[in-house]
């Protein structure tokens, strides 16, 4: 099946564009970043970051057109594509999951990234921008806050299966500039089939929504109580030296390393693109930061790794 430049292929009658195209039209050097997520979580910011990184980007492409779009861009020698799909095409979403599987089997590197945020952050953003939720409908006399909360929950239900398939980024506490930076890091780590994302965080600000595994290191000795170490972070040599001297620190990190080593092959066999390992302490400054640095160093020689320090990055 050939495609003339500028003239996208037409779907077969009754198939709504879901027919399987010849494998010759879908090359293994294609990379498609699929941006999805909850409305208000930052999809536009993420798509702009990918555009700046050299991706050809399309917003709100109906899933029925995804296969044709990939084939058309192949004819144009475009191999880095980013597509945003959201709940506005809700009637087509049930077809998207099997389509992703088909494209992967045909050699297309489809990498779904799901942006999420907690309800408080979403409510605040909609209030600040005064934009309506795409699923919002407010009958006369209804409470606007309650209607927005209901729309958010409905959207979560509609996108639950897609979220399960995707790499999740929690944007609840991210400024737009930081989200752009994280997106560039995510798509830049392409040296292995599975990218490990190590993220430190503070429990007092909540557990990241994007974590696949969460480890609590609050039981370890706290450098915060050493006066000269208090203003420093887990990336500073004096803090690292202090924690290196605590036997229980090395024991816990070694056990986490062994656990991850045991289960990483299973995630790779499951065709996962990313695995996010979150490590938390009280303030997200010393122990969790040191632990993330330690773990990333120990896995960097065999896997692509991305390091994120949620609380520290927010200060920079």
**Tens-digit pLDDT profile for residues 242-274:** 999 999 999 999 999 999 999 998 888 876 778
Q: Which secondary-structure segment (H or E) carries 84?
A: strand 80-84
Alpha-carbon gap, residue 203 to 186, rounded angstroms: 24
Tell me what pLDDT residue 141 has: 47
Q: Please, where in the chain does CATH 3.40.50.300 lie?
A: 23-188
**Alpha helices by DSSP H, the chain:** 43-52, 66-75, 93-105, 119-129, 144-165, 176-188, 237-244, 247-269, 287-299, 310-315
Tell me what pLDDT residue 258 has: 97
195-202 vs 304-309, strand pairing mode: parallel
Mean pLDDT in consecutive groups of 10 residues from the start of the chain, 316 residues: 34 37 47 91 92 88 86 76 82 82 87 93 88 70 74 90 90 90 77 81 93 96 96 97 97 98 88 88 98 96 91 85
Three-state DSSP at 107 gives coil
> 232: closest CA among 222, 246, 220?
222
Tell me what pLDDT residue 142 has: 54
Tell me what pLDDT residue 296 has: 96
| Class (C level, CATH) for 23-188 | alpha beta
Alpha-carbon gap, residue 27 to 24, rounded angstroms: 7
Residue with tokens 């490990």: 196
Q: Are 88 and 38 in contact (CB under 8 A)?
A: no
Tell me what pLDDT residue 8 has: 37
């Amino acid at each position: 099946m050939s495609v003339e430049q500028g003239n996208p292929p037409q779907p077969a009658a009754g198939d709504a564009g879901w027919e399987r195209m010849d494998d010759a039209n879908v090359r293994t050097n294609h990379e498609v970043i699929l941006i999805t997520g909850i409305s208000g979580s930052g999809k536009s910011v993420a798509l702009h970051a990918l555009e700046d990184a050299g991706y050809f980007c399309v917003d709100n492409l109906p899933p029925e057109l995804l296969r044709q779009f990939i084939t058309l861009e192949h004819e144009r020698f475009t191999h880095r594509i980013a597509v945003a799909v959201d709940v506005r095409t809700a009637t087509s979403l049930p077809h998207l999951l099997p389509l992703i599987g088909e494209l992967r089997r045909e050699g297309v590197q489809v990498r779904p990234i799901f942006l999420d945020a907690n309800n408080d952050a979403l409510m605040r953003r909609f209030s600040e921008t005064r934009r309506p939720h795409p699923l919002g409908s407010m009958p006369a006399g209804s409470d606007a806050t309650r209607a927005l909360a209901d729309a958010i929950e409905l959207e979560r239900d509609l996108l639950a299966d897609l979220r399960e398939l995707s790499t999740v980024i929690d944007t609840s506490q991210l400024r737009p500039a930081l989200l752009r930076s994280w997106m560039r890091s995510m798509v830049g780590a392409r040296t292995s089939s599975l990218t490990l994302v190590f993220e430190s965080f503070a429990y007092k600000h909540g557990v990241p929504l994007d974590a696949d595994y969460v480890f609590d290191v609050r039981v370890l000795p706290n450098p915060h109580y050493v006066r000269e170490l208090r203003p420093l972070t887990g990336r500073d040599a004096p803090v690292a030296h202090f924690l290196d001297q605590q036997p229980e620190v090395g024991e816990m990190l070694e056990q986490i390393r062994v656990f991850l080593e045991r289960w990483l092959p299973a995630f790779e066999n499951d065709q996962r693109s990313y695995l996010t390992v979150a490590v938390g302490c009280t303030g997200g400054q010393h122990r969790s930061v040191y632990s993330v640095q330690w773990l990333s160093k120990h896995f960097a020689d065999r896997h692509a790794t991305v390091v994120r320090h949620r609380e520290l990055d927010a200060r920079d």
